Amino acid sequence: MKVNRSDWFVTASALLITLGAAFAVMLVMIFIMSETPGETIYYFFAGPLTNKYYLGNMFNSAIPLILTGLGIAFAFRSSMFNLGGEGQVYAGGLAATAVALPLPAAGAFFGITISLLAAVVTGAVIAGLSGFFKMKWRTDELISSFLISNALIYIVDNFITGPLDDPENNLLVTSKIAEQYWFKKIFLPSNLDISIFFIAIIAVLAFYYLFKTHQGYEMRMCGLNPEFARYGGINVGKYMILPMLWSGAFHGLAGAVAVFGTSHACYKGFSGGMGWNGIAVALIARNNPIAVIPAALFFAYLEAGAKSAMINADVTIEIASIVQSVVFFLITAQAIYNFVKFRRKAV
Amino acid sequence: MKSNKKLLAAAVIFLLLITPVLVFAGGQQEAEPEAPMVEKEEAPEKKAEPFALAVVVPGVTAGSPLYEQLVEGAQQAVDKYPNASMKVVELGFNQAEWAEKMTSIVATGKYDVVISSNPSMPFVCMELAGQFPDQKFIFVDAFIEGHPQMASFLYNQVEQSYMLGYLAGLITTSDMTGANADLKIGIVVAQEYPALNKMMVPGFLQGAQAVNADITLDYRVVGNWYDANKAGELAKSMVDAGVDVIGVICGGAAPGVFEVAKERNKYVMYWDDNSYAKAPGVIAGCGALHQTKLVSEVVEDAINGKVKFGTGVKLNSRDGYIEFIGDDPNYLDIIPAAMQAEHKKVVDSIMSGSLVLEVPEL
């Protein structure tokens, strides 16, 4: 993958401006919201790095974001838009839990494997539907993935608060999965678990698939110029479904990893923000699977900083959402700009 | 290319400009002594040892009467002691994050005691209590017994629910406007949980059936604490099925029920707080928990080292923490005098202990 120097400058400067603007907004918000802005700023920036617990949890919350970022990157590379990440993560988490719960005595390897498989298949099928609809009836996948996801959220809610609800628990949550399925913690007392290594390997494999395999090449060609790809003999219809399948699979896996690694049960609304933040992560990473890792860490850092400021100073957790929204807004605006530029060139 | 370089340079300059602000902010933090967290008043008793309290709200304070009372009660107690300070931390609505956020609070090592209010909190804190064996917890509106780091205070919700159920029974068997002959009352709850399943719903039905044993209960679950539209839809369906009095234990979703009850001339029973003013003419009965009083007393005890950790205390109306609000003008307007008198007899019998309603095993 050769990178043009001019492109590099555009990318780097746009990214720096975006992040700089986001931090500037955050500083303004802190000065408005906090009575002790110095303290708040200190805890926001330094808090996540001050002890093992905060640091480990920051890495831990980056894990699902890496997966959702990969999912979005796969779709975007093929010019497919998957806006249904939230529902796919949520449904994936539920599917994995629903498979694990009836198997309290199964071996860890077997139980984890089929549960994760269930999550991957669930996510893939949900997102794949939008790809199929696009191939078959030219349905806009941006709309269909969003609508399907929104409907699914209510269905998953219903399962969590209904048939799978744990009546002995005061929270809106399913029963806990058996202990042998819990991912091993590697940085106590934080929640960081062993899956981070596997997720990093998955990101590398995703890069290899996209940029070093024939199928990855065809997928990217379909994204860059579908008409050219069709002229070159590529089955363009196939690449309306395949990237969505991949995208959904990553999202479903993110849900399962969040449950098996951290919460060990499916909480109502546990996936809040993972899908949407995955879009921002992919856009910051310019849809590069390797760059998704630092981008996800950046988002996790924002959230960890906000939590630290909330606990140690006098602001609420919403400050993280505001900064993330600003990043999302600016990055999306940049993406639209690029998209328009690309379309103009294509015409 | 040139313009790209300019753009990059501008971005770098911008980041350099904000860096001193960040560095200054950090330096300032180190230099400044820790600001007092609350204003102090005259202290009745002086204690040399500083006492730091974390008031953890599992949700958000605004709009939740019990959480508002939790913060108010803690503040009242802390204000009396110059050595005491408190910090309020809201955990937000994502329950999946509660344990992690709670752990983050405890991990700071800053707080002598963490106080919270919600039946789920002892279980949320169970695992982290093992990781931080020196941390003490106080839970109100929750029950756990025998854990050396935890003290809990549980309201006898059977009593409150019985009082409200009895009034619902009187209304549904009456000839008040909107009451019908179906002998059906209803309850809309946000979610199922042990205190609800074992105390509140059975207590409500038991109270109604004390009026007429044929009364039945239509029970509906919203699935969250905020969806007023869904609660309204459930209420409509209940009214269509013949329900004329609806109990609401669904937090922010309750206004949906109020609206339907107002449109269809039905009545609502409300738990935990004097909320007649939220829907005048619709809310016919309110129970109340005196959480401000409880929390204030408990926090004072904690500051003075008098809390017995490892115990779970069950509080009833005779202790002064639970009551039925029978003197509100809205209540007096809706309920006929004869019915008020009949209801008062039952409330008095509970308050005096002649009618005993035990808290079941949770």
pLDDT tens for A215-244 read: 999 999 988 888 888 888 888 889 999 999
- Banded model confidence at residue B108, pLDDT cuts 50, 70, 90: confident
Task: Give all strands of the β-sheet with B84-90 in edge-to-edge order.
Answer: B84-90, B51-57, B113-117, B136-140, B150-155, B312-315
pLDDT above 90 (res B2): no
Tell me the CA distances in angstroms from B106 to B30, B100, B102, B111, one per residue in order: 22, 10, 6, 7
Residue type, A15: L
Tell me the CA distances in angstroms from B314 to A142, B194, B299, B302, B357, one per residue in order: 54, 15, 17, 18, 12
| Minimal-distance CA residue of chain A relative to B93 | A269
Do B7 and A9 count as a contact with CB atoms less than 8 A apart? yes
* Paired tokens of A12: 């780097």
B326-333: Cβ within 8 A, 24+ apart: B328/B274, B328/B276, B328/B286, B329/B276, B330/B276, B330/B277, B330/B280, B330/B281, B330/B283, B331/B276, B331/B284, B331/B285, B331/B286, B333/B280, B333/B281
Least confident of B157-166, B221-230, B331-340: B221-230
Q: Enumerate the domain spans of chain B.
A: 51-156+293-304+307-315, 157-288+318-352
Contact A203, A289 (CB under 8 A): yes
β-pair type (B322-324, B283-289): antiparallel
pLDDT at A335: 62
Q: Mark out the alpha helices in B132-216 (DSSP H runs).
A: 157-172, 194-195, 201-211
Instruction: Report yes or no: B336 at the A interface, CB cutoff 8 Å.
Output: no
Pairwise pLDDT comparison (B126 vs A331), residue with the higher score: B126
- Banded model confidence at residue B157, pLDDT cuts 50, 70, 90: very high
Burial class from Cβ neighbours inside 10 Å (0-12, 13-18, 19+) for residue B60 reads middle
Do A16 and B24 count as a contact with CB atoms less than 8 A apart? no
pLDDT in tens, A90-109: 999 999 999 999 998 889 99
- A150-159 average pLDDT score: 92
Average pLDDT, chain A: 88
Instruction: Say if residue A189 is preceded by a cis peptide, omega within 30 of 0.
Output: yes
pLDDT above 90 (res B345): yes
- A166-191 average pLDDT score: 89
pLDDT at B36: 37
pLDDT at A346: 53
User: Right CATH number for B51-156+293-304+307-315 from 3.40.50.2300, 3.30.200.20, 3.50.50.60, 3.40.1050.10?
Assistant: 3.40.50.2300
| E strand residue ranges, chain A | none
Question: Among B353, B345, B359, which Cα is nearest to B166's?
Answer: B345
Average pLDDT, chain B: 87
User: Right CATH number for B157-288+318-352 from 3.90.1170.50, 3.40.50.2300, 3.20.20.70, 3.40.50.10470?
Assistant: 3.40.50.2300
Question: Among A67, A200, A82, which Cα is nearest to A142's?
Answer: A82
User: 3-state DSSP call for residue B117?
Assistant: strand
Closest-CA distance of chain A to residue B223, Å: 6
Cα distance between residue A315 and residue A330, in whole Å? 24
Topology of domain A5-346 in CATH is: ABC transporter involved in vitamin B12 uptake, BtuC (1.10.3470)
Backbone φ and ψ for B133, nearest 5 degrees, come out as -65, -15
Instruction: Report yes or no: B23 at the A interface, CB cutoff 8 Å.
Output: no
pLDDT at A321: 72
Cα distance between residue B135 and residue B109, in whole Å? 8
Least confident of A129-133, A310-314, B201-205: A310-314
Do B100 and A171 count as a contact with CB atoms less than 8 A apart? no
- Residues of B (256-315) whose Cβ lies below 8 Å from A: none
Tell me the CA distances in angstroms from B138 to A163, B103, B231, one per residue in order: 33, 15, 33
Do A46 and B223 count as a contact with CB atoms less than 8 A apart? no
User: 3-state DSSP call for residue B129?
Assistant: helix
| Minimal-distance CA residue of chain A relative to B225 | A172
* Paired tokens of B287: 């129970």
Compute how many other C-beta atoms are within 10 angstroms of the C-beta atom of residue A3.
10
- On chain A, the residues whose CB falls within 8 A of the CB of B223 are 157-158, 161-162, 172, 268
Cα distance between residue A40 and residue A29, in whole Å? 11
Contact B174, B161 (CB under 8 A): no
pLDDT in tens, B24-46: 333 333 333 333 343 444 455 54
pLDDT above 70 (res B135): yes
Cα distance between residue A189 and residue A172, in whole Å? 25
pLDDT at A334: 63
Cα distance between residue B224 and residue B203, in whole Å? 22
What is the value of ipTM here, to two decimals? 0.76
Least confident of A58-67, A257-266, A274-283, B55-64: B55-64
* Burial profile B106-121: b = 16 or more Cβ within 10 angstroms, e = fewer: bbbeebbbbbbbbbbb
Instruction: Report yes or no: B228 at the A interface, CB cutoff 8 Å.
Output: no
Pairwise pLDDT comparison (B349 vs B21), residue with the higher score: B349
- On chain A, the residues whose CB falls within 8 A of the CB of B15 are 16, 20
pLDDT at B263: 96
The DSSP 8-state label assigned to residue B38 in this structure reads S
Cα distance between residue B158 and residue B206, in whole Å? 9
| Minimal-distance CA residue of chain B relative to A57 | B100
pLDDT in tens, B281-301: 999 999 999 999 999 999 999
Closest-CA distance of chain B to residue A46, Å: 8
pLDDT at B271: 95
pLDDT above 50 (res A205): yes
Backbone φ and ψ for B79, nearest 5 degrees, come out as -60, -20
pLDDT at B23: 37
Burial class from Cβ neighbours inside 10 Å (0-12, 13-18, 19+) for residue B72 reads middle
Cα distance between residue A97 and residue B110, in whole Å? 36
Domain B51-156+293-304+307-315 and domain B157-288+318-352, same fold? Reply is yes
Cα distance between residue A242 and residue A217, in whole Å? 13
| Minimal-distance CA residue of chain B relative to A4 | B1
- On chain B, the residues whose CB falls within 8 A of the CB of A89 are none
Cα distance between residue A149 and residue A85, in whole Å? 7
- The pTM for the full model equals 0.78
pLDDT in tens, A249-274: 999 999 999 999 999 999 988 988 89
- Banded model confidence at residue A5, pLDDT cuts 50, 70, 90: low
